[in-house]
Amino acid sequence: MVLAFSGRHPLSLLLLWIALALAASARGELAIEITQGVDAPVPVAVVPFAWQGRGRPPEDLGKIIRFDLARSGQFAMTAPEDMLSLPSRPEELYVRDWRVQGIAYVLLGSVRPTESGLEARYALFDVFAERLLFEETLEARAGQLRALAHRISDRAYEQLTGIPGAFSTRLLYVVAQNIATEAETFRLEMADADGANAQTLLKSREPILSASWSPDGQTVVYVSFETGKPAIYLQEIATGRREKLTDFEGLNGSPVFSPDGMELALVLSAGGNPDIFVLNLETRKLRQLTRHFAIDTEPSWTADGEAVIFTSNRGGGPQIYKMNVRSRAIERLTFVGDYNARARVLADGRYLIFVHRQDGIFHIATQDLERGTVQILTETSLDESPSVAPNGSMAIYATRSNGRGILAVVSIDGRVKYRLPSTEGDVREPAWSPFL
Amino acid sequence: MNRMSLRTLLLSLLAALVLAGCQSTGDAEVAPEPEVQEATAEAAPAAPPMVTPAPRPVTNEEGFPLDASGRPIGYVFYFEFDRTELKPRARALLAEHAEYLKENGSVRITIQGHADERGTREYNLALGERRASAVRDYLQSMGVASSQLRIVSYGEERPVDPRSTESAWSKNRRVELAY
């Protein structure tokens, strides 16, 4: 595997080591390659967690947390072999061991088996202030060690940045194999945010796309061509129970839950033309939002549920529009460039993230809706399907690398980048879960 | 790469032989429990190209090749990026299909619209549908019964050439008639 370190400030060699170690261990899953971090990452040490049970310890929590924090691009992580001591309790920590290496924060802890599973006790220490920031315990069911580690990462990240961590979230994506051959297959997959624990939700010989999450993270909706034409399905993750929601003549596409989970915005072309509709999931009644001879597609909701934004080529090429669902008033949002599509509004309501073409190349870009300024976030090409993490810090998107579809992540400010190359197939159509 | 070019070759052979596209039947399975990768999903080596003597092409008075049943041989129509207009050559060939379909009123076809990979997937589905509709509308304007015509758009999901090159893109922006 080649690690591409690009960007202004390559992170320490440690990141490379972590990436290599994880890439090697994650066969058949998405690995992670960090390509760019912030200019002055904060030096953080995550000490290997002490195991207080019998026998061999399970996977090291410290290693999983270290990789979580490294992936945020905001921290320079210390390798365990460079640590002068390996404390597992705050009382064992000698400040000078860390200060001498310029380390700003130390996260340490231990895990022990309990009757019901595992218990972690952990603490975060501010080296320069010589102050304990928190000391806590957290329990998990047996076999949930990785989930336990991600919860600790969430806590540390929030303490250090003021933003809730999104390490305990999941990803949906589609893996296509043997494209353009008779053996073509499509799989809808779900994995942890770090690419681990991948599982298949649906497997088909026909295309699957446009998967998205319900606000409670319990249900997914997607488009499947399994009957030879596109139809929208809803599937409960835990049970696998599935329901076909729409199967009209023509397109049945782009299903997206409203923020309250009661409705689905979607695209139908049964009227001869792709338009945006809203399906009430209780009454099963459809109402038509747009009615225009142009292509109207790719709806998504504003955080308050008051408006739907969508792609339309009513002005010639594809641009982003916004419609108030009550007044039906329409406003065009994008004016920079001749191809802007598949937009999502960030939770703060101020920024739009979408696919933007510049000089013939498709990038992920944001637009400040107050000032109108557009910022291109990615240097890759053929980028599409941006999906924002629930804490608003990062977006995952699909791109191509060496002739294959891969997923990549960029921070909303464009400063941090990493990629999740898969060992097999074309990976596309990512959707980041809500907080779970 | 070898497989890819072999595939392209096979495809053009196929096109020349006018094998009606055998639609794979829809079979999807829900897998609440993850299934281990099937061996069949691994790339099977491409079968050696079979050398079947091509049926001698017949042409009608306009010079369009026809197969033994009199059906026009060309069944793929290409488009420009983000465009849905039929090219003059496509119109001429479609007129031949219209004649055939009018003479064979029980024949039904599926008009499959496609897009290249550039741009977003759902927009490309809409674009593929527009292209398929353009073909359908043209056939109808030539007198083909609407009951003979069904359209489906695959957008960018079903490329004939999965590479990211201009030539691949130009082959993927297409409408195919499936008899």
Contact A206 B159 (CB under 8 A): no
Choose the closest CB to B123 out of A180, A199, A297. A297
The residue assigned the tokens 């090697």 is A24
Among all residues of chain A, which has the CA nearest to that of B159? A180
**Pair (A156, A179) in one structural domain:** no
A151 assigned to some structural domain: yes
Q: What is residue A410's predicted lDDT score, i.e. its pLDDT?
A: 97
A349 assigned to some structural domain: yes
Among all residues of chain A, which has the CA nearest to that of B32? A240
Provide the percentage of residues in chain A whose pLDDT is more than 90. Answer: 86
Q: Which of A269, A300, A309 to probe the B interface (max B CBs under 10 A)?
A: A269
**Would the pLDDT of A8 be above 60?**
no
Residues of chain B neighbouring A205 (CB-CB closer than 8 A): 24, 26-28
Contact B162 A179 (CB under 8 A): yes
> Is B123 part of the contact surface with chain A (CB cutoff 8 Å)?
yes
B18 assigned to some structural domain: no
Its domain, for residue B112, covers 57-178
Q: Which two tokens stand for residue A191?
A: 């994995």
B85 assigned to some structural domain: yes
**Would the pLDDT of B5 be above 90?**
no
B157 assigned to some structural domain: yes
pLDDT tens string B123-145: 999 999 999 999 999 999 999 99
**Would the pLDDT of A87 be above 70?**
yes
Which of A29-38, A192-201, A287-296, A340-349 is predicted with the least confidence, judged by mean pLDDT? A29-38
Contact B34 A229 (CB under 8 A): no
A138's CB contacts (< 8 A; 6+ apart) are A119, A120, A122, A148, A151, A152
**Would the pLDDT of A172 be above 90?**
yes
**Pair (A98, A197) in one structural domain:** no
For residues B23-29, average pLDDT: 47
CATH number for position A261: 2.120.10.30
**Would the pLDDT of A398 be above 90?**
yes
B36 assigned to some structural domain: no
Residues of chain B neighbouring A201 (CB-CB closer than 8 A): 30-32
**Pair (A123, A186) in one structural domain:** no
Containing A98, the helix (H) or strand (E) segment is helix A95-99
B133 assigned to some structural domain: yes
Contact A180 B7 (CB under 8 A): yes
Domain count across chain A: 2
**Would the pLDDT of B28 be above 80?**
no
Q: What is residue B37's predicted lDDT score, i.e. its pLDDT?
A: 35
A318 assigned to some structural domain: yes
Torsion angle (degrees, nearest 10) of CA A256, A258, A260, A262? -80
Backbone angles phi, psi at A370, to 5 degrees: -80, -45
ipTM of predicted assembly, 2 dp: 0.91
**Would the pLDDT of B53 be above 80?**
no
Which of A3-17, A163-177, A352-366, B50-64 is predicted with the least confidence, judged by mean pLDDT? A3-17
Q: Which of B23, B121, B140, B172 to probe the A interface (max A CBs under 10 A)?
A: B121
Distance of alpha carbon A386 from alpha carbon A432, whole angstroms: 9
Contact B120 A178 (CB under 8 A): no
**Pair (A98, A144) in one structural domain:** yes
A339's CB contacts (< 8 A; 6+ apart) are A317, A318, A355, A356, A357, A362, B82, B119
Among all residues of chain B, which has the CA nearest to that of A311? B123
pLDDT tens string A250-280: 999 999 999 999 999 999 999 999 999 999 9
User: B59: distance to nearest CA of chain A, Å?
Assistant: 31
Q: In 3-state terms, what secondary structure has residue A404? A: strand
Contact A240 B25 (CB under 8 A): no
Q: Which amino acid is at B36?
A: V
Q: Taking a C-beta distance cutoff of 8 angstroms, is the pair A212, A255 a contact? A: yes
Among all residues of chain B, which has the CA nearest to that of A178? B43
> Is B39 part of the contact surface with chain A (CB cutoff 8 Å)?
no
For residues A25-37, average pLDDT: 66
B8 assigned to some structural domain: no
**Pair (A145, A175) in one structural domain:** no
Interface size A-B, in CB pairs within 8 Å, comes to 145
User: A14: distance to nearest CA of chain B, Å?
Assistant: 33
Q: Taking a C-beta distance cutoff of 8 angstroms, is the pair A224, A211 a contact? A: no
CATH number for position A130: 3.40.50.10070
CATH number for position B144: 3.30.1330.60
Q: What is residue A38's predicted lDDT score, i.e. its pLDDT?
A: 84
Q: Which of B80, B122, B171 to probe the A interface (max A CBs under 10 A)?
A: B122
Please, which residues bridge with residue A344 across strands? A353
**Pair (A130, A181) in one structural domain:** no
Contact A201 B125 (CB under 8 A): no
Backbone angles phi, psi at B11, to 5 degrees: -60, -45
Its domain, for residue A111, covers 41-161
**Pair (A232, A130) in one structural domain:** no
pLDDT tens string B15-24: 444 333 333 3
**Pair (A345, A241) in one structural domain:** yes
Residues of chain B neighbouring A229 (CB-CB closer than 8 A): 152
Q: Which is more confident, A73 or A29?
A: A73
B149 assigned to some structural domain: yes
Choose the closest CB to B34 out of A181, A199, A272. A199
Q: In 3-state terms, what secondary structure has residue B128? A: helix
**Pair (A64, A202) in one structural domain:** no
The domain boundary residue, chosen from A161, A193, A211: A161
Q: Which of A364, A307, A358 is nearest to A333 (CA)?
A: A307
Q: What is residue A33's predicted lDDT score, i.e. its pLDDT?
A: 81
Confidence of residue B58 (pLDDT cuts 50, 70, 90): low
Among all residues of chain B, which has the CA nearest to that of A255? B122
User: B61: distance to nearest CA of chain A, Å?
Assistant: 35
B31 assigned to some structural domain: no
- Residue A219 has a CB neighbour count (10 Å cut-off) of 19
Among all residues of chain B, which has the CA nearest to that of A189? B34
User: A203: distance to nearest CA of chain B, Å?
Assistant: 6
Choose the closest CB to A318 out of B117, B123, B160. B123
Q: Which of A75, A137, A81 is nearest to A104 (CA)?
A: A75
Mean residue pLDDT across chain A: 92
Q: How far is CA A117 from the centre of its chain?
A: 28
> Is B84 part of the contact surface with chain A (CB cutoff 8 Å)?
no
Domain count across chain B: 1
User: B157: distance to nearest CA of chain A, Å?
Assistant: 6
Choose the closest CB to A228 out of B26, B117, B153. B26
Provide the percentage of residues in chain B whose pLDDT is more than 70. Answer: 65
Q: What is residue B51's predicted lDDT score, i.e. its pLDDT?
A: 47
